[in-house]
Chains A and B, each alone.
Chain A
Amino acid sequence: DGGITQSPKYLFRKEGQNVTLSCEQNLNHDAMYWYRQDPGQGLRLIYYSQIVNDFQKGDIAEGYSVSREKKESFPLTVTSAQKNPTAFYLCATSLAGTQYFGPGTRLTVL
């Protein structure tokens, strides 16, 4: 089955720690995205990548970093510089404008 997997489903972080969220796809899509979702705020774009070894900042990139070494993978690191990281994180791919979403990772800072 083609799809997008995100792991872990739940993640707990202590203040000052970096954590990495995994996103893997087997849809063979070139473009991948990371969104942050907070209640009542919709989806906000963190980073996106339209091709391997290239990525661009979105609207709220501060405190986050990404890499795109393989077409299938687009991991997101939430660094200690992100002051309020507790949120639901969604990974997506895109084909001709249509977005396909993973199941999400809920990150909680303890």
Chain B
Amino acid sequence: AQSVTQPDIHITVSEGASLELRCNYSYGATPYLFWYVQSPGQGLQLLLKYFSGDTLVQGIKGFEAEFKRSQSSFNLRKPSVHWSDAAEYFCAVVPTSGGSYIPTFGRGTSLIVHP
């Protein structure tokens, strides 16, 4: 079975600073990889996804993520954080075999943005 680790429970950055949120996964092959964002009291919204091909993927709101097979990582980055980026961020993996597409989510990283 696959697993996902988001090692940082909370991250605090200043507005305008760069951001990197870490995600490591365990799976026997390359899974489908996702980042979702959740504002308080709301559902999750897809930021970006990786299925195959170019290992640097662009998403909405100026986010990008890089898939590194050798490190089993899919870290999320943003060059300049805005106060509106404060939210909970979830990494998820979906197995590419079996056909069930049942995702496994990390426990989330809470992003705090200081003015």
Contacts and interface: CB of A to CB of B under 8 A. Distances in A.
Interface size class of B (residues with CB under 8 A): 20 to 34
B43 A97 contact: no
Interface size class of A (residues with CB under 8 A): 20 to 34
The secondary-structure label for the interface of chain A is strand
B43 A96 contact: no
A33 to B, nearest CB: 8
B100 interface: yes
B105 interface: yes
Contacts of B115: none
Given A42-B90, A42-B108, A100 B46 contact: yes
Contact of B43 (A45, A94, A98, A101): A101
Given A98-B46, A101-B44, A102-B43, A40 B102 contact: no
B101 interface: yes
A34 interface: no
B32 interface: yes
Given A99-B92, A104-B41, A106-B41, A42 B105 contact: yes
B101 A43 contact: no
Interface in B86-115: 90, 92, 94, 100-103, 105-108
Contacts of B42: 103-104
Interface in A47-103: 48, 50, 88, 90, 92, 94, 96-103
Interface of B: 9, 32, 34, 36, 41-46, 49, 51, 90, 92, 94, 100-103, 105-108
29 contacts: A4-B43, A41-B107, A42-B90, A42-B105, A42-B106, A43-B44, A45-B102, A50-B100, A88-B41, A90-B44, A92-B43, A92-B44, A94-B101, A94-B103, A96-B101, A97-B34, A97-B51, A97-B101, A97-B103, A98-B34, A98-B49, A99-B36, A99-B44, A99-B92, A100-B46, A101-B45, A102-B43, A103-B43, A104-B41
